[in-house]
Amino acid sequence: MQTLRVDRQPAYVLHRRPYRNNSLLLELLTRDHGRVAVVARGARQPRSRYHGLLVQFLPLLVSWSCKGGLGTLGQAEIQGAVRRLQGESLACGLYVNELLMRLVHRDDPCLAIFQLYMSVLARLENGQADNEAALRLCERDLLQALGYGMALDHDVETGEAIRPECVYNYFLDKGPVLAAGNGVTDAPRGGVVQLKGSSLNALAQGRLDDREALKEAKRLTRMTLGKLLGNKPLNSRSLFRERQGTVRKRTAAPGP
């Protein structure tokens, strides 16, 4: 079997854990090779050449080699702007990392996902005021990149453009349909999310500056992602709730 060698590839660490005696097992998101798993040999030794580099959210240039299966990390160096996430922004970043770990298959290149990841880190670094919208748009675009894009701009039964003043039942297996009687009198069933046309428009246009639109967009993306994630809960959501303590009484709860 031929050995694959990759040199100076832009990458981020999505996850890391101890491996054998003094090494680390890394899950990397790379620009041209998608998600890859590599071993950083000796990375946990005090004088390792990787000291301070193999951490989440740090933009890296990495080299590795593999001969089927698990690769071996070679060089690693910082490249580009360092994203410093703290507090709520850090929790949101960990949520994005876990989503990618759960939904992106190894060795499946997708430049759109790498670009999306860089974009959401930049938005999260800007501060907590924009975090909620950043996550919703990240979820929307991630679903699109994975081939599960949501219909947001038209009624899937009539083909008519979404009307902001109307209420729609969003069927997760096909898309939005105008609610009977144009009101909230319908009782949405499992696999259906009811929301306003204005919220669909806001999510489609990436202009989530309204609290009600954020709340409804969160319900929609969470249920859509739930179909892909299955019954296993996301650890980052639990960590976020623990950090927040008692749930604050808001129109839309922040975070993942």
> Residue 126: what pLDDT?
79
Do the domain assignments include residue 174?
yes
> Residue 128: what pLDDT?
63
> Residue 247: what pLDDT?
40
Whether 91 and 68 share a structural domain: no
Among 225, 69, 64, CA closest to 146: 225
> Residue 244: what pLDDT?
58
The predicted-structure confidence for 113-155, as pLDDT tens digits, reads as follows 999 999 999 999 976 668 999 999 999 999 999 999 999 999 9
Whether 116 and 74 share a structural domain: no
CA–CA distances in Å: residue 87 to residues 53, 105, 243, 254: 21, 29, 9, 12
> Residue 253: what pLDDT?
53
The predicted-structure confidence for 65-122, as pLDDT tens digits, reads as follows 998 789 999 999 999 878 889 989 999 999 999 999 999 999 999 999 999 999 999 9
Among 222, 224, 196, 225, CA closest to 210: 196
| Overall pTM > 0.85 | yes
The rounded radius of gyration (Å) of the Cα atoms in the chain is: 21
Looking up residue 55, the CATH number of its domain turns out to be: 2.40.50.140
Total count of domains within the chain: 3
- CA atoms 175, 146, 84, 233: torsion sign: positive
| Domain, as residue range, for 130 | 87-146+234-244
Do the domain assignments include residue 10?
yes
Whether 172 and 211 share a structural domain: yes
The predicted-structure confidence for 143-200, as pLDDT tens digits, reads as follows 999 999 999 999 999 999 999 999 999 999 999 999 987 655 455 567 899 999 999 9
Do the domain assignments include residue 14?
yes
